[in-house]
Amino acid sequence: MPQGSQAAMADSQMRSPAALGWQSLFVRASDGLKLHIRHIGPRTGTKLPVICLPGLSRNVEDFEMIGRAIAEAGERWVVALDSRGRGASEHDPNWRNYDLMVEHDDLHQVLAALGLTKAIFFGTSRGGLLTALTGITKPETIGAAILNDIGPVIEARGLARIRSYIGKLPAPRDYVQAVDILKQVFGTHFTDTPPDAWERFARRTWAEHNGQLAPRYDANLMRPLAELDLEKPMPDLWPHFSTLAIAPMLVLRGELSDILARKTAEDMVARHPNAQLHEVPYQGHAPLLEDAPTIARVTEFIATHDP
């Protein structure tokens, strides 16, 4: 076979869905903290990349299945970021840096390091808040937005529930007990979740460290939450989220969510010139992004709203 044909075949294999695999790299934040990124799919191409931003105590592995599906469906580069103190990113010695504005700066340091000037933003919960902040500070970087169970009105009872377990879960002796713990905490919010999904959830929540299971986030993440006065009204975030009117938007909501009320999600779509709502049945905050209908809806949205 001619050498040129071999090179073409190798390139084809690299780009084929079967050959796609997640890879890791690290970027330094402006203060020197090391941030972890996972990415999948071809880095070059004309299609907008997708930047995936996990929730408060979550990590890049939440996007394992749906990120792969996005990359395979459109030969598109998908990048997921572990915010500081989460996943494989370094913990911050100063817990007060677990702050949205600091994390917003981290995000844009990463985008600059990767050479990304425009992307489709896919944010779960806190990742959606980072997306809304980007709509204020750098709207030109948002080609489209997918918000997973977050909006301009955050229900206080949901925040209270999150505050009750962040950094406070007991240490499981093994993944069997880890699943039991998750079911005790989240069972009423995820009522039709198969056993294999619970196990994946457990493995995304704890990792083995020195022979024991430890949370995959810094327990100090709970300290900013502890300072919140949930007796006071939550701040009005409608002006922040209104900036996302510049781009198509898909709102994902868990049917059993106690963070994003159905009325808020419906109002988000009604106020936006080009928005859609997809509700995930039998799931609460935040949808796991593993069910086939949600994956299909997200990949379809991306395919039809790529500027």
Condensed to tens digits (0 to 9), the pLDDT of residues 264-307 reads 999 999 999 999 999 999 999 999 999 999 999 999 999 998 76
* Nearest-angstrom CA–CA distance, 7 and 11: 6
Q: Kindly indicate the confidence band of residue 145, based on its pLDDT and cuts at 50, 70 and 90.
A: very high
Q: Kindly indicate the confidence band of residue 19, based on its pLDDT and cuts at 50, 70 and 90.
A: low
Which CATH number is 106's domain given?
3.40.50.1820
Q: Is position 287 within any domain? A: yes
Summarised one tens digit per residue, pLDDT across range 78-126 is: 999 999 999 999 999 999 999 999 999 999 999 999 999 999 999 999 9
Q: Is position 127 within any domain? A: yes
Return the SS3 of 50.
strand
CA 89, 90, 95, 100 dihedral sign is: negative
- Structural domain that includes position 111: 22-152+235-304
Q: Is position 262 within any domain? A: yes
Mean pLDDT value of segment 184-200: 96
How much is the mean pLDDT over the chain? 92
Instruction: Classify residue 288 by burial, with Cβ atoms within 10 Å: 0-12, 13-18, 19+.
Output: buried
Q: Is position 54 within any domain? A: yes
Q: Is position 2 within any domain? A: no
* Nearest-angstrom CA–CA distance, 189 and 25: 34
What is the number of domains present in the chain?
1
Summarised one tens digit per residue, pLDDT across range 54-71 is: 999 999 999 999 999 999
Q: What is the largest CA-CA distance in the chain?
A: 73
Q: Kindly indicate the confidence band of residue 13, based on its pLDDT and cuts at 50, 70 and 90.
A: very low
